[in-house]
Amino acid sequence: MNLNKLYLLLIGFLCAGAFSTSLHAQDATTANGFGVNHNLHLTYGLGVGAVPESDDASSSLLSLSWTHFYGIGAKKNLRLGYGVRFNSFSGKNLAYSTADAKLISDDQIDTIGVAKANTNNIAITLNAKYRLIDKLDIGFNIDALGLGFGGEKETSLTNTNDASLTSFDTNNNASPTSMSVLLVGDRDIGMLNSEIYVGYWFTENLNARLGYSFLFTEYTTENELGFDNDRFRNKSGYLIFSVGYSPGRN
């Protein structure tokens, strides 16, 4: 199966989640019913820092997610779930450093600059939330597996620890890494988003979240640079605000 078909499959999954939310709304009185335990959220993130840093850098994040939760225990205050999320990231004057875990541990690190970055992915998410009081919950989610896509960008090698490189390559094109895989820490691959938040329910159907998002974005260069590496990562943080809909309080 090629990447285009996989993209269409994951987009179809997201659309199916939105459709089933409406279709099963009449089941909202069922404590663990499929209809009541949907969430649809639109989230905006304002960049508050990136690693590595670069002068005049800025970035933003927009995401659309669908989640299905399952209540645990008699009161079902703890809820675990799975979902699908579309993430779209844009930034300017960003620095991306070596993403290979072994090279990082050996301090064999290069840095490339991307003047106008734009990466996207569609990912399966893991979710958990806990109801603190009647209208207030806290929660966490993270991308687990997905597909990345976006336009090709021209990059410049701005720093290297590889003494074998005699000059900086200023014409090396790069594209968003096509796979997103959660492997923990520096072993992660591709674009991965995670959120921690506090949520408030205004009504049985409408809610909002305020929190923090930690994001990995990654580019793969056409040609290998120092230490035979072609993957470069930027880590960034965001203050996030989200508005959500559910067919019933869950």
Looking at residue 16, its pLDDT comes to 52
Question: Where would I find the H helices in 163-249?
Answer: none
229 closest CA partner among 143, 101, 137: 101
Looking at residue 50, its pLDDT comes to 73
Is 134's pLDDT higher than 90?
A: no
Phi-psi region of 222 (alpha: psi -120 to 50; beta: other; left: phi over 0): alpha
In Å, what is the CA distance from 91 to each residue of 8, 57, 120, 177, 192?
Answer: 26, 7, 12, 16, 16
Q: Which long-range contacts (CB under 8 A, 24 or more apart) does 34-37 make?
A: 34/68, 35/247, 35/248, 36/246, 36/247, 36/248, 36/249, 36/250, 37/68, 37/69, 37/70, 37/71, 37/79, 37/81, 37/246, 37/250
Is 199's pLDDT higher than 60?
A: yes
- For the stretch 83-131, pLDDT in tens is 999 999 999 999 999 999 999 999 999 999 999 999 999 999 999 999 9
Domain 3-27+36-245 falls under CATH 3.40.640.10: no
58 closest CA partner among 92, 86, 84, 95: 92
Q: What is the dihedral of CA 16, 238, 177, 91, to 10 degrees?
A: 110
Strands 136-149 and 153-159: unpaired
- For the stretch 204-231, pLDDT in tens is 899 999 999 999 999 999 988 888 899 9
Is 28's pLDDT higher than 60?
A: no
- For the stretch 102-111, pLDDT in tens is 999 999 999 9
DSSP string, 58-110: EEEEEEEEEEEEEEESSS--EEEEEEEEEEEEEEEEEEEEE--HHHHHTT---
Q: Are 214 and 142 in contact (CB under 8 A)?
A: no
- For the stretch 12-23, pLDDT in tens is 555 555 454 444
Q: The whole model's pTM is what?
A: 0.84
| Residue 142 exposure: Cα atoms within 13 Å on the Cβ side | 9
Question: Where would I find the H helices in 114-177?
Answer: none
